[in-house]
Amino acid sequence: MAGDDKFASLIGSQRPQATNIVIFGANGDLTKRKLLPALAHMHRWNLLGHDCRIIGVVRQKWTHAYWVSYVHDELLKFFPEAVLNPASWQHIAEKLELVSGDLGEAETYQAIADKLHAHDGRKNALFYLAIPPAWYETVAQHLHTAGLNDESEGFRRVVIEKPFGMDLHSAQGLNRSIQSCFDESQIYRIDHYLGKEAVQNLMVFRFGNSVLEPLWNRNYIDHVQISVSESLGVGYRAGYYETSGALRDMIQSHLMQVMALVAMEPPVSLAADDVRDEKLKVLRSVRRFQAGALQHRAVRAQYAAGEVEGEVEGEPVAAYREEPGIAPESTTETFAAVKFYIDNWRWQGVPFLLRTGKRLPHRVSEICIRFREPPQKLFKLSEENVRNNELIFRLQPDEGMQLTMTAKQPGLSMHLRGVKLDASYGMAGSGMPEAYETLLHDVMLGEAGLFSRADEVEECWNIVMPILDAWKEQKDIATYAAGSMPGCDADVPGMDELLAGCQGGWRDLSRH
């Protein structure tokens, strides 16, 4: 298959309708690192029709020419192919439009409305809120007041970034407020983990094959570990992270969504609400936490100074409390691990262990389904080589799947060894769509299956609130040296206890 055809088959044959892509926060970090490259990539594969326009909204009084040169320079950094070919760049540049105005001023929205009306044909519009969360409600209300939610001349969809609320109360308030301006069917809450190939493949793997279904339950699965390990520190996100921490930032959103996909029943169809109904049922079945009884269920820690792979060798990186913008006595967790139980027929008694952290030894994200040991130990002599079978969905790096099996070592004696059946997608760098590209494409098509519905978001908050409340009261926090892994080479109280009742230890994320 030629490269272009191969990609077209990957991203699908459906072409989105011409859309005005309005980006609030057009000069922000998310726009330059993710949205512009994703749009340029879509353009390259002819997924942004001729009539698509990218309308950046900035508060600075930029000229159109300055906006075009800004996009050029940012693409040069983050997706150079888009601008190195003059013809390709010319096409992208022709799509760029600019509105200069403050998010809090009605004139900004009138200027956007004028741009849409000046456009021939359908007035489809996607409003991407790549702005600080404090602005979500204000922007939604202004869009509503300016009539920009009205779908009589084309679809109007609003894309909201995470974090969606900081607790249950604020998430409920935000939902109410945005739903008073847009219908739920117009609201797309981004969880970019759901756009990852391996996460989507999880559904295909489960429901497109029949071999797994008989095994996918408490009779064969010992436990599930979902891990997102980052080697970077808090970096420039200190202000946000201090008020968030690992539980809010990762577990309440991405990891619980992934858990719901692993655990859900087959949906009636792939229609967005059928899938979301099944995920919601899982979330509603999650055993509740009691604020006073978190022992053996939730662990938190914060990174101290240490050495991390990828940083200058031998040079220690700073402790979280010494990072710029972080309070010297901060108790914000940079690592969190939580043990969930899903109290339904399929999963009763099967632990779901979710862990995530910053300044860990490796940048790895994966889902590990660990199956039970064989019921009889026939191969006693080489037992050390016999491990539980594991089915791994790697989200990063090298998206793909792996099944670990036990096999006989070739030779005359009965020695066993672990073998890996590896189905790496092997396409990184060759055009596999990035999560943001998949998600933008879906918004333009009106497919909401990879976006979180209001009730799912609130249920996730509802589940973690007792942990957040309990941690708020704690005056101290355990630490781990940057570059070490709690529960593996870093002794963090509670990590061993989380594994109680699980076969095998914490998965070693360096074993790829």
Ligand X SMILES: NC(=O)c1ccc[n+]([C@@H]2O[C@H](COP(=O)([O-])OP(=O)(O)OC[C@H]3O[C@@H](n4cnc5c(N)ncnc54)[C@H](OP(=O)(O)O)[C@@H]3O)[C@@H](O)[C@H]2O)c1
Alpha-carbon dihedral angle through residues 75, 79, 80, 82, given to the nearest 10 degrees: -80
* CA angle centred on 456, ends 453 and 458, rounded to 5°: 110
Based on the shown chain and the rule CB under 6 A, indicate whether residue 27 belongs to the binding site for ligand X.
yes
Q: CB of residue 456 vs ligand X: minimum separation in angstroms?
A: 18
How far apart (Å, rounded) are the C-alpha atoms in residues 64 and 187?
Answer: 29
Q: Residue from 39, 75, 103, 468 that binds ligand X (CB under 6 A)? A: 103
Find the part of the chain contacting ligand X (CB under 6 A) among 22-30, 202-210, 306-314, 407-415.
22-30
Based on the shown chain and the rule CB under 6 A, indicate whether residue 29 belongs to the binding site for ligand X.
yes
Based on the shown chain and the rule CB under 6 A, indicate whether residue 102 belongs to the binding site for ligand X.
yes
Based on the shown chain and the rule CB under 6 A, indicate whether residue 161 belongs to the binding site for ligand X.
yes
Q: CB of residue 422 vs ligand X: minimum separation in angstroms?
A: 30
105 C-beta neighbours (distance < 10 Å), count: 12
- Kindly tell me which of 196 and 223 has the beta carbon lying closer to ligand X: 196
- Is 142 catalytic? The answer is no
Based on the shown chain and the rule CB under 6 A, indicate whether residue 191 belongs to the binding site for ligand X.
no
* CA angle centred on 278, ends 274 and 280, rounded to 5°: 115
Q: Residue from 15, 17, 28, 220 that binds ligand X (CB under 6 A)? A: 28
Find the part of the chain contacting ligand X (CB under 6 A) among 77-85, 101-109, 141-149, 391-399.
101-109
Q: Residues with Cβ < 8 Å from 461, sequence gap 6 or more?
A: 165, 167, 168, 171, 252
Based on the shown chain and the rule CB under 6 A, indicate whether residue 72 belongs to the binding site for ligand X.
no
Based on the shown chain and the rule CB under 6 A, indicate whether residue 143 belongs to the binding site for ligand X.
no
Residues in contact with ligand X, counted by CB under 6 A, come to a total of 17
- Kindly tell me which of 60 and 510 has the beta carbon lying closer to ligand X: 60
Based on the shown chain and the rule CB under 6 A, indicate whether residue 37 belongs to the binding site for ligand X.
no
- Kindly tell me which of 160 and 198 has the beta carbon lying closer to ligand X: 160
Q: CB of residue 28 vs ligand X: minimum separation in angstroms?
A: 2
Based on the shown chain and the rule CB under 6 A, indicate whether residue 107 belongs to the binding site for ligand X.
no
Q: Helix, strand or coil for residue 397?
A: coil
Based on the shown chain and the rule CB under 6 A, indicate whether residue 171 belongs to the binding site for ligand X.
no
How far apart (Å, rounded) are the C-alpha atoms in residues 477 and 302?
Answer: 7
Beta bridge partners of 115: none
Quick check: 275 and 362 in contact, CB under 8 A? no
- Give the CB-nearest residue to ligand X: 28
Among the options 142, 254, 362, 441, which is catalytic? 254
Helix (H) / strand (E) element for 443: namely helix 435-445
The three-state DSSP-derived secondary structure of 302-338 is EEECECCCCCCCCCCECCHHHCCCCCCCCCCCCEEEE
Burial of 263 (0-12, 13-18, 19+ CB in 10 A): buried
Alpha-carbon dihedral angle through residues 440, 442, 444, 448, given to the nearest 10 degrees: -120
Site of interaction with ligand X (CB under 6 A): 25, 27-30, 33, 59, 102-104, 130-133, 161-163
Please give the positions annotated as active site.
254
